[in-house]
Chains A and B, each alone.
Chain A
């Protein structure tokens, strides 16, 4: 195994999405983005809805949107357990808008604290999706 690379696994409940070696992976931690290079100290972190950037030779080669989840980092590998993961270029703006609308509606209709929290989470995911697309457009993708 190449010691200058980090093994990155991205899994969703339905399937294994990515499993490969990369130079660096930047993940959206709950308390701020963190980059993972080989030899990172062991860590477990919550992820917020956001974008995972995959770096090869100093440039971003792939961007994946995750709707929150968990990351486990060891010296050799980064494992991300995502509830939902989509490549950024596959997100459609309409989809994100529809989700945002559905989330807001659910928030209006929520009759319990739990439902309200759930709706807020949906809104946060939709907003993060929109942000991910607009950033991708800005970068000329």
Chain B
């Protein structure tokens, strides 16, 4: 029967889909473990770097403007959004939620008469923003972290940001990415990079020890000149790692759901297939019996 054949084809195709999604889930799970430990291993550096810049900032004499990377260039007109997403899809709401957050941010800024520039890290973010905000996108980075996230990749992105800042292309830089909370929960996060804002609790109310006068070797300016670009790279690196771990977590959850749905669908289809088959047999039997009776 044509109907039976259709069902058989359907079942085979759902089965192979299930195989693919469950393989993707497994791959994501193993990548997640690695990405998660990488993200955790990078935390001490980022935290200490943050603290060091914080104490340097607190250490600056009153009324002295630090380097532009630290305290900004005094303007607040052009905003740069660095949006970190993934290159590949099939990871649930991972990219959409980061993009939604970015769109909201951009609209807020545009509504208050600011200008916006966007730097995309990851192809999916660009694809989703292209139609509405295409004119703001400066550039897109693709293929980062293909062989595990490297610090050198973060340096490259951070270097680009620094150059743009020095050329006066923007005044304030904000990083938008998915922070890794757990395998099933990723939080879209905004983090202001330039001017410097401590990622942790506000520094102003910190204990007085934080304000202890540090001796500087060779000098405030020279240390800050080296430390600030590093700090930028570290923040980007941390965001990249968090985003990468989040991506794997999101993909794992999405693929787990897809596998389960495929399983449900398979059960329903198999049931229908068997019912149809039995109905056919019964029908044929009736035909034979009524044929025999007619004789």
Chain A residues near B (Cβ < 8 Å) = 9, 11-16, 29-31, 34, 41-46, 70, 72, 74, 79, 81, 83
Chain B, residue nearest A29 (CB): B217
Q: How far is the CA of A138 from the CA of B273 in the complex (A)?
A: 81
Chain B contact residues: helix, strand, loop or mixed = helix
- Do the beta carbons of B214 and A44 come within 8 Å of each other? yes
- Residues from chain A with a CB closer than 8 A to the CB of B214 are 42-44, 72
A-B contact count (CB 8 A): 79
- Distance in angstroms between the alpha carbons of A46 and B224 in the assembled complex: 10
Closest 4 CB pairs of A and B: A15-B41, A45-B217, A43-B215, A13-B151
How far is B229's CA from A46's CA once the two chains are assembled, in angstroms?
14
Contact partner of B42 (CB less than 8 A), chosen from A13, A30, A43, A44, is A13
Can you show 9 pairs from A to B with CB atoms below 8 A apart? A13-B234, A14-B41, A42-B215, A43-B216, A44-B223, A45-B223, A46-B226, A72-B52, A81-B45
Interface presence of B157 (CB below 8 A): no
Cross-interface CB contact of B48 among A31, A41, A72, cutoff 8 Å = A72
For B151, what are the chain A residues with a Cβ–Cβ distance below 8 Å? Answer: 13-14, 83
List, in ascending order, chain B residues with CB within 8 A of A42's CB: 212-215
Complex: how many Å from CA A81 to CA B257? Answer: 42
Q: Besides the contacts A14-B42, A29-B217, what 7 more A-B pairs have beta carbons closer than 8 Å?
A: A14-B45, A31-B218, A43-B214, A43-B216, A44-B223, A45-B223, A81-B230
B237 at the interface (CB under 8 A from A): yes
* Chain B residues with CB under 8 A of A29: 217
B41: contacting residue among A16, A44, A83, CB under 8 A? A16
Within 8 A of A (CB), among B158-195: none
